Amino acid sequence: MFVLVGYASEHGSTREIAERIADRLRGRGHTADVRPLPGAPEADGYEAVILGSAVHGGSWIPGAYDYVRANAESLGRMPVWLFSVGLARVLGGWFGKHVQVPKEIAELRGAVGFREHRLLAGALRPGHLPLFGRAVYRLMGGRYGDFRDWDEIDGWADAIAADLSATGASGGTPV
C-alpha cells in the first residue's frame, strides 16, 4: 500500500522514528512517503497514513494537529495510526504523574477514528531547554537522555505493515 508517514519534530528524534517506521514498512513490501508536517501532500493521495508529533507542553506540535484537522474527511476513510513522542513514560516524579497522553488525542479520535495511538519514549538534551527551563526540569526530577525503544518501534511498525497487508488483500477499507 502507499503510505504517508508524516511527522512534526523540533529536535529530530520524532523524525528519526518516522524514518524508521517507513523503513520497516518498505521492508515488508509497502511504499512509504516520509514527510514533515506541515508540508505533506493532502491525505487523499495515500491509501493509509501514520502521523506522529513530538509532545511539547502536553500538546502535539501545531503542524501535525492542523494536518489531521485539515484532512479529517479523507483520513476518516482510510486506516490511520497516530504516535506521540515524549518523556511521559520514562520520567518519574512530577512529570511522570502529570505529563501523559497529549490532550488533542481524544479529540482527534472523535474527528478521525484512528486505529491506534501509541505513546513512544523520546529524547531530551539540556540544550533543548532554556536556562530557566533546565532549572525547573531538574527541580522536578527530570532526566536527560535518548530513551527511544527501537525494538518497540520496530515491533509496532511491523504490526502496522501486517495490518496493511491484510487490509490490502481484502480490498481495502470500505469508502
Ligand X SMILES: Cc1cc2nc3c(=O)[nH]c(=O)nc-3n(C[C@H](O)[C@H](O)[C@H](O)COP(=O)(O)O)c2cc1C
Confirm or reject binding of residue 87 to ligand X (CB under 6 A).
yes
- Cα-based torsion angle of the residue sequence 6, 33, 74, 65 in order, rounded to the nearest 10 degrees: 10
Confirm or reject binding of residue 129 to ligand X (CB under 6 A).
yes
**Which residue, 14 or 71, has its beta carbon nearer to ligand X?**
14
Of the candidates 80, 112, 124, 161, which one interacts with ligand X according to CB under 6 A?
A: 124
3 state DSSP class of 172: coil
Confirm or reject binding of residue 126 to ligand X (CB under 6 A).
no
Minimal distance, residue 144 CB to ligand X, in Å: 9
What number of residues does the chain have?
175
Confirm or reject binding of residue 128 to ligand X (CB under 6 A).
yes
Q: How far apart are CA 121 and CA 4, in angstroms?
A: 22
Minimal distance, residue 50 CB to ligand X, in Å: 15
Minimal distance, residue 168 CB to ligand X, in Å: 30
Sign of CA pseudo-dihedral 52, 82, 4, 108 = negative
Instruction: Compose the 45-84 pattern: x for residues touching ligand X by CB under 6 A, - for all others.
Output: ---------xxxxx--------------------------
Q: How far apart are CA 144 and CA 153, in angstroms?
A: 20
Q: Please, which residues have CB within 8 angstroms of residue 59's CB and are 6 or more apart in sequence? A: 65, 102, 103, 104
Minimal distance, residue 148 CB to ligand X, in Å: 8
Minimal distance, residue 167 CB to ligand X, in Å: 28
Q: How far apart are CA 83 and CA 89, in angstroms?
A: 13
Binding stretches for ligand X (CB under 6 A): 9-14, 54-58, 85-88, 99, 122-124, 128-129
